[in-house]
Structure 1
């Protein structure tokens, strides 16, 4: 059945082909696992499926055990444990990410062009990362630095890869119920096992429904749910062993996040809002993936990846952050001479009512074929494994944007965007002898885009880009593996729509290129019970793409949003991950990131016509320090305790102003009793009720103060606590 449908499924991709790698190192990893008391974690997003200790790159893998121990329900709950990683909180859930200071902070217009790749089970959701339930996940992988060979234009800064659990040959089932403050209710369940007695067909199904009020009280509407979270996640996987040489994996995922968005306050109190028309932040995504593995060739193995994702997203907000009664009680100048006396300095009750709303529909189709050598197919005397591949993707997105100011339409835009990417890539992995390994990869990519809108803007840029890497590793001894890596990444150029005439010179911007230079040492001590992964890096960004915004002095409810090229910037720093199994019952872990990311030569014109020089200033959302620490104690009797904390140093909120966050740290805990079938836990997040900013703006939003610029902050979640019951049948 699957064989017959293979060709039409491939035909879903209007462009495509790709060829890739084998699991040539699986035997080595298995041997390592038998010798090492610590579990070996494979990087599934990598061509070769190497272990974290073997891959010549800075990678963090968060496995299912750590996700469970910390009680993480959403990606937001665990991203603080990744060194040199940040996100911008302009949405109800993290959607825009920054790795080593590189990445988007928002996307208001609708021509997606991500710097950080985001995949769930090989389904590309870059720029749509909010649908990220952690339930029934095998692991989360964060690959830092450009992934030019493997993922191309959408992974300039790095890649986030979520891998869910695969179907099992034995039946297993489970359920989970969580209750907590903020009216939190979560129910989840999974089932896995064989569909046939022969074991040729396996299945796995997982579902989760999460609801909570969102930690905001709307005093004007007398409601506590205007910032709600209503999140449904569903996934089914089927594995078919078609014959001795063919494995087919089918994945269907669906996520329906219908969240509120009421997170901003004029007085920065953080949690008591006054809006009369609370916003929304909704995303409905359906994704389908088909993976075929064939190893029946004498000297090569074939991998085919076909995926489709369709997303409806809706983001809107009350831009005046208050209500008619609030503004009418304040005095504003008579800017429009309502009194008719020619005196614009007269004071009148303020009238300020602004709403912004965008609805979008995105579809992505991709196809990749990889052909990789097996052990018999290695070249140059059996020293070198090879792979070649072809890739194609088509992305389409339609958007409807509408805003209203004091009851009148203010800005409307209906747009259509389409981008097609075609790529060819290859990689050689050579054993040079004396425990030295060399990896060389290259990718050539063609991108054609087309954009049009009802305001008369139309663009059709096309370009050819290239990226790749050279990495060399040296096994110093059984405990230490040293590597060096040079990688070239790229991000396609683009265009700015709906710009006023005075910004005519900013209609288009160029491709950004990033060179990453990295050395690392991966070590194991105490007979394999204590592991450290250290990386030092220097990144040279050329024609850096910078997102800028300017408030319109004539229409202060409006912003001019555009991207332009800065001359250059440099990012350098270090990452350290560590794991220590002190005893069979006690585990310590942690991470530390240092980052210095600053502009080389860049200045821009502010809304008053003045020139602002950012040369030498640090980039936005690039804290100097990120850290995490954790410990898990699991007694033989079944009692369990986990304590973990993470934090960041201060960082700039924007590239268009000097608004800065504060240093912060967050403490979390989980404790309970674990039995063979059932387990019960009490948990708390942000136990010290730390007030910390996740997004900030600096602009004028109060007409009674003459639209004077002011810093506004959106805060992260306050203290949360609850009870979780887990049941599992094997």
Structure 2
């Protein structure tokens, strides 16, 4: 075989275990080859010189020094030397990049403050993730691990010309290693803590002079990072594998083609989110000058009516390790007010369904973010396939035609404990209870011995709640390009592409209290001993259909669970082109324009939790079971984007190579629809109108930058400054059980520096620094679900009744009127009367459900309609957001790495020590920038020791990631009002150490 072991290291990710010379953003090792396929089509070719790396950022092979884009290219060897093993760790190599998992099936990869804070199924990522230049709307960048890569390119700033839609923040382009003309292979094995076992390998086989095949794969299995003290099991483990096969055919000098298949699969107990934190809200004992006093018939403390479950306290305080005030949850209150299980014959008094007291009242969580206590261990499954066909035809010596066809399919399934902590016993013992006639009640759907058997979750005496996030997606795309390589001053790159994407995203929440209420409140015939045979098609009675199947075989018709189903189809056409004009020997103008036509079709499917059939029925629903689809909503946008760049390559004398450039570019990302709200009869609940759609995003970006190489490539320095004018940035929050997407205008500016210094063969230092300042523009406002009153003492937060999903605010004087009235003190109707203040309906809260009646608050002598008499229909006061920072946009990001190689026995053995430290400053998780939103700055240190014997193509490596075992909160998600506004947090992996052996042949 030709060449040294190190010279071939960049051809594959797995050989990166050697890590002798480490990582330099954008630059390869001295003397190594760059494994860069020509725009995703041809096999790897040598770099233009020994110190630069070839990239395809402009969809053509170019030295990174000649590309007037802020780009970081990380070779296979660099990925491993810094122990960057997946997409979540790219932030350590790229300035002004942030990453965090989101609550559902995707993640937020942000560049310069621009990421994906919209979690709606109809929203698109703002940073385009591409596999070999094919954009993937859904992908497993977070879950999968890098293997057999040529490099990863991260392009910062809008890339609206060549990459098009969904590239407002930038592009992450994953470039696999392509087949070569020589037989070679590799195998790597690793063991580590958490019982880690990993294997990876590659084999490259030339078949004659025109065909070559490359096959590679990787497998990881380990026990969980987190410990569940309740089930006494380790969870958040990994069992995943990937494989890739590439065949490349070059029958002539003018034509080449390759076919790529990549598969990823995972089946384990990965946790989709971390711990759930909460600063418990005990409620209020005084409203103004009026005490909150329970009457003799109040089965739920009135103080809980003024509790939102959790307060917006700092997540870093000890108080945050509590649990929501569950007495404030509407479904708990319903079981104690309107759901008597039966009569106790010994006292002749009713016994209500749920035991008194707060089922979460005694919950005290461990301060260790990696220690949880839940009654249900997570289940995680994912599967992803990518098929890509690339063809390259040289029309002439100077003009090339490129075709790229791709099909991708993605499946995702993740289920875990929704509450993230264990409740006290909740169900009343129904044994021995009788109906009003003294007849023992049926125990079919009751709770004998305090045990209730939920059809999905099984038997328990405690409150069980489990969620399930599931998605099924498929995408295919076609792109044609014609690009020139003239020897003169003018060249071009023009093309067109088509993309079709279909997605079904579903989110379930199962709760045994929901099923209990469905059976016993809505499905009883009367007399407490019989139940309706309620079916999805039942219309003669107002009943709620209960799905009888376990969680893995649902009929998906039940109204005893929450289901948000989102059906999305996106179709996109585009034509684009770039022209490159050398107006002088060292000055070039790049002008690009793209026209995109998007059509997005969303089919609304309203949720149906505890809603049954019957006109004006007590449940407020319209169907007993099933999830009827609404009329599809079709949105269309036709948008131009593009860029104009001037770059200059002066001969400065004190540099080897210098590029100075300035650019202005325009980016666009499509809008979408907000999911429909629950399908509740407006006679029962009238919602304050919310927008049914959200707007597209637009960005105008100005950038200047320079790239420099000194001292024969031993020292490199890149610097960039940018300014963004952002229009309609998309941000989501949960409102009325849906992900409500809002739009905000913002500005962003910053600086970036990347440097690498290699004074000798043995020593190397590299670093990057990012500075970022983001601001929301004038007029930005939004209702903060954690602080709906915004400190206005004339208004009071109220928890609503069962059918109303979100909290509201009500006038303090009316609340005091209700609290001070004898109807509350002695009549026992204060709890539902207060809830009626959130209604906005003439029926809600009346004595005669199902027919027109008198609202309870009219008994107190006043008229009130929250839709017209309260701010924003009772939703709350707007928070002024002008000048606030964008979420997940730390002011500073910084990474420094150094390595030293000792040459042993005349260079027969090489021992390399590598250390890296990453740091980001504090940021905010939401646009409100409150103390609750604050994310503290955090750091991450990594070490590696590698021993190689180049002559034997053999390497041994020991590494430690997250040396100090830090567990920072990297981001969080605020849950819905009707679950108490708890907070799911995300953190880093713990300290991981491993030992691996790599052998090439």
**Shorter-normalised TM range:** 0.7 to 0.9
Q: Quick check: 1:163 aligned with 2:179?
A: no
1:437 partnered with 2:437? no
Task: Tell me what 2:669 maps to.
Answer: 491
Taking a change above 3 Å as real, the CA distance of residues 92 and 444 of structure 1, as seen in their structure-2 partners, is: closer
Q: Which residue of 2 aligns with 1:248?
A: 257
**Does the alignment pair 1:511 with 2:696?**
yes
Measured after TM superposition, the shift of residue 351 of structure 1 is: 6.1
In the alignment, which of 239, 242, 247 is matched to residue 238 of structure 1? 247
Report the Cα offset of residue 653 of structure 1. 1.3
- Structure 1 residue matching 2:80: 3-state secondary structure: helix
CA distance in 2, matches of 1:290, 1:711: 44
1:72 aligned residue: 84
Structure 1 residue 158 displacement after superposition:
0.4
Q: Which residue of 1 aligns with 2:639?
A: 465
2-structure distance, mates of 1:132, 1:118: 13
1:425 aligned residue (531, 552, 576): 576
Structure 2 residue aligned with 1:584:
761
Contact persistence 1:22–1:301 (CA under 8 A): no
Does the aligned pair in 1 maintain the 2:643–2:665 contact within 8 Å? yes
| Mapping 1:550-561, distance limit 5 Å | 550=735, 559-561=737-739
Shift of 1:136: 1.1
Q: Distance in 1 between matches of 2:268 and 2:732?
A: 26
Q: Secondary structure at the match of 2:158?
A: coil
| Contact 2:602–2:673, Cα closer than 8 Å, also in 1 | no
Task: Give 3-state SS (helix, strand or coil) of 1:615's partner.
Answer: coil
5 Å-filtered alignment, 1:584-603, equals 584-601=761-778, 602-603=780-781
Structure 1 position 487, deviation (Å): 0.6
- Partners of 1:577 and 1:105 lie apart in 2 by 27
Question: 2:214: which partner in 1?
Answer: 204
What do residues 12-58 of structure 1 show as CA deviations (whole Å, max 9, x unaligned)?
xxxxxxxxx998xx9xx97851xxx52x1122232232222111111
Aligned-residue offset at 1:328:
8.8
Selected match of 1:481 from 646, 659, 673: 659
Which whole-Å CA distance do the structure 1 matches of 2:185 and 2:373 have between them? 45
Distance (whole Å) between structure 2 residues aligned to residue 93 and residue 688 of structure 1: 29
Is 1:355 the counterpart of 2:466? The answer is yes
Q: How far did residue 591 of structure 1 move?
A: 0.7
1:500-557 CA-partner distances (Å, limit 9, x unpaired)? 663533111222110010000111122321001110000000122222334x5xxxxx
SS of the residue 2:65 aligns to: coil
Partner secondary structure for residue 642 of structure 1: strand
Contact 1:549/1:656 (CA < 8 Å) preserved in 2?
Answer: no
Residue among 186, 189, 195 paired with 1:174: 186
Partner Cα distance (1:327, 1:466) in 2: 58
Residues 282/106 of structure 1: CA separation in 2 closer, same or farther (3 Å cut):
farther
1:615 aligns with 2:853: no
Report the CA distance shift for 1:247/1:66 in structure 2 as closer, same or farther (over 3 A). same
Cα distance in 2 for partners of 1:702, 1:718 equals: 33
| 1:604-630 deviation digits (Å, cap 9, x = unpaired) | 123331221111110111101111111
8 Å contact kept, 1:359–1:399 = yes
RMSD: 2.6
Q: List runs of 5+ in structure 2 lacking aligned partners.
A: 1-36, 278-320, 322-366, 429-459, 516-559, 607-628, 679-685, 789-875, 905-909
Q: Is this contact kept in 1: 2:103–2:973, CA < 8 A?
A: no
Cα distance 1:87–1:326, how it changes in 2: closer, same or farther (>3 A)? farther
Q: Which runs of 5+ in 1 are unaligned?
A: 1-20, 330-348, 377-381, 553-558
SS at match of 1:306: strand
Number of aligned pairs?
Answer: 661
**What is the 5 A alignment of 1:306-345?**
306-325=405-424
Q: CA shift at 1:710, angstroms? A: 6.4
Quick one: structure 1 residues 639 and 146, their matched pair in 2 at CA, closer, same or farther if it must change by over 3 Å?
A: same
Q: CA deviation at 1:655?
A: 2.9
By how many angstroms is 1:589 displaced? 0.8
* Alignment partner, residue 371 of structure 1: 482
Q: Do residues 634 (structure 1) and 901 (structure 2) align?
A: yes
Which of the two has higher C-alpha Rg?
A: 2
Instruction: State the distance in 2 between where 1:91 and 1:545 align.
Output: 16
| Pair 1:275–1:368, CA change in 2 (3 A) | same
Of 98-107 and 67-76, the range deviating more from structure 2: 67-76
Cα gap change, 1:87/1:189 in structure 2, threshold over 3 Å: closer, same or farther? Answer: same
Evaluate the alpha carbon distance shift between residue 509 and residue 112 of structure 1 in structure 2; reply closer, same or farther with a 3 A threshold.
closer
Task: Please report how far the alpha carbon of residue 182 of structure 1 lies from its aligned counterpart in structure 2 after TM superposition.
Answer: 1.4
Contact (CA 8 Å) 2:676, 2:692: kept in 1 or not? no
Which residue does the alignment assign to 2:9?
A: none
Pick one of 202, 216, 224 that aligns with 1:190: 202
CA drift of 1:327 comes to 7.6
CA contact (8 A) 2:752 2:769 kept: yes
2:204 equivalent to 1:219: no
Q: What is the CA distance between 1:702 and its match in structure 2? A: 11
Deviation at 1:646, TM superposition (A): 0.8
**Hey, what does 2:969 align to over in structure 1?**
693
Matching residue of 1:275: 374
Q: Distance in 2 between matches of 1:82 and 1:93?
A: 24
**1:91, 1:563 → 2: CA distance?**
15
Post-superposition CA distance 1:196-229 (Å, at most 9, x none): 2xx21011111111112231001111101x2111
Would you say 1:671 and 2:680 are equivalent positions?
no
Alpha-carbon shift at residue 493 of structure 1 (Å)? 1.6
Q: Name the stretch that deviates more: 320-329 or 227-236.
A: 320-329
For the residues of structure 2 that align with 1:445 and 1:99, how far apart are their CA atoms? 23
Cα-to-partner distance string for 1:287-327 (whole Å, 9 max, x where unaligned): 10011111133541101100000111123331111234488
Hey, what's the Cα distance between the residues in 2 that align with 1:313 and 1:31? 39
| In 2: Cα distance, 1:697 partner to 1:71 partner | 28
- Quote the residue 1:526 is aligned against: 711
Say whether residues 1:82 and 2:354 are aligned partners.
no
Matched with 1:721 is 993
Q: 1:383 aligns with which of 476, 479, 489?
A: 489
The alignment partner of 1:153 has SS state of coil
Structure 1 Cα separation of the partners of residues 412 and 105 of structure 2? 13
Give yes or no for contact 2:155–2:171 (8 Å, CA) kept in 1. Answer: yes
Written as runs of structure 1 = structure 2, the 5 A alignment for 1:253-272 is 253-262=262-271, 263-266=274-277, 267=321, 268-272=367-371
Q: TM (normalized to structure 2)?
A: 0.63
| 2:479 is the counterpart of 1:394 | no
1:87-122 CA distance string (max 9 Å, x none):
122369983211111111463x52241211001223
In structure 2, do the counterparts of structure 1 residues 642 and 167 end up closer, same or farther at CA, with 3 Å as the change threshold? same
C-alpha deviation, 1:407, in angstroms = 4.6
Distance 2:899 2:773 in 1: 32
Counterpart of 2:740 (choices 544, 550, 562) is 562
Contact 2:204 2:212 in 1 (8 A): yes
For residues 761 and 216 of structure 2, the distance between their equivalents in structure 1, rounded to whole angstroms, comes to 31
Retained in 2: the 8 A contact 1:96–1:106? no
Supply the distance in 2 between the matched residues of 1:402 and 1:699 (Cα, whole angstroms): 14
Structure 2 counterpart of 1:654, from 901, 923, 926: 926
Cα distance in 2 for residues equivalent to 1:657 and 1:520: 31
* Deviates most, 119-128 or 540-549: 119-128
1:502 paired with 2:687, answer yes
- Give the Cα–Cα distance (whole angstroms) in 1 for the partners of residues 916 and 408 of structure 2: 35
Task: Sort the Cα spacing of 1:386 and 1:570 in 2 relative to 1 into closer, same or farther, 3 A.
Answer: same
Contact 1:258-1:283 within 8 A present in 2 as well? yes
SS of residue matched to 1:178: strand
In structure 2, the CA distance between the partners of 1:220 and 1:677, relative to structure 1 (3 Å rule), is same
